Amino acid sequence: MPELPEVETVCRGLDQAMTGRKIVSVDQNRPNLRFPFPKSFPERLAGRKIERITRRAKYVLVELDGDLTMLMHLGMSGRFEILGDKKSQKPGPTGPNGFGKHAHVIFHLDDGIKIVYTDPRRFGFMDLMKTEERDKHPNLKVLGIEPLGNELNADYIQQNFSNKQTSLKAILLNQKIIAGIGNIYACEALFRAGLSPIRKAASLALKSAKAKKHAEDLVVEIRSVLTDAIRAGGSSLRDFANVDGDLGYFQHTFQVYDQEGEACKRKSCDGVIERIVQNNRSTFFCPSCQK
Ligand SMILES: [Zn+2]
Lowest mean pLDDT among 90-104, 125-139, 175-189, 233-247: 233-247
pTM of the shown model: 0.89
Q: How far is the CA of 7 from the centre of ligand 1 (A)?
A: 30
β-bridge partners, 36 = 32
Mean pLDDT of the 253-258 span: 91
Model confidence at 99, pLDDT cuts 50, 70, 90, reads confident
Q: How far is the CA of 66 from the centre of ligand 1 (A)?
A: 54
Among residues 239, 237, 238, the alpha carbon closest in space to that of 10 is found at: 237
Q: Catalytic residues, which ones?
A: 2-3, 58, 281
Pairing of strands 59-64, 50-56: antiparallel
Computed over its alpha carbons, how large is the radius of gyration of the chain? Answer: 21
Q: How far is the CA of 259 from the centre of ligand 1 (A)?
A: 12
In Å, how far are 1, 41, 72, 186, 285 from 46, measured between CA atoms? 30, 9, 17, 40, 49
Phi-psi region of 261 (alpha: psi -120 to 50; beta: other; left: phi over 0): left
Please give the pLDDT value at position 95. 52
Q: Is the pLDDT confidence value at 117 over 60?
A: yes
Q: How far is the CA of 208 from the centre of ligand 1 (A)?
A: 25
Question: Which tens digit of pLDDT belongs to each residue from 256-275?
Answer: 999 999 999 999 999 999 99
Pairing of strands 50-56, 103-109: unpaired
Q: How far is the CA of 83 from the centre of ligand 1 (A)?
A: 45
What is the CB neighbour count within 10 angstroms for residue 275? 15
Q: Is the pLDDT confidence value at 126 over 80?
A: yes
Determine contact, residues 269/286, Cβ cutoff 8 Å. yes
Higher pLDDT, 95 or 143: 143
Q: How far apart are CA 3 and CA 16, in angstroms?
A: 20
Among residues 279, 264, 263, 256, the alpha carbon closest in space to that of 189 is found at: 256
Q: How far is the CA of 257 from the centre of ligand 1 (A)?
A: 13
Q: How far is the CA of 256 from the centre of ligand 1 (A)?
A: 9
Among residues 220, 224, 251, 222, the alpha carbon closest in space to that of 235 is found at: 251
Q: Please classify residue 142 by burial: count the beta carbons closer than 10 Å to its beta carbon, then call 0-12 exposed, 13-18 middle and 19+ buried.
A: exposed
Q: How far apart are CA 95 and CA 97, in angstroms?
A: 5
Model confidence at 249, pLDDT cuts 50, 70, 90, reads low
Model confidence at 97, pLDDT cuts 50, 70, 90, reads low
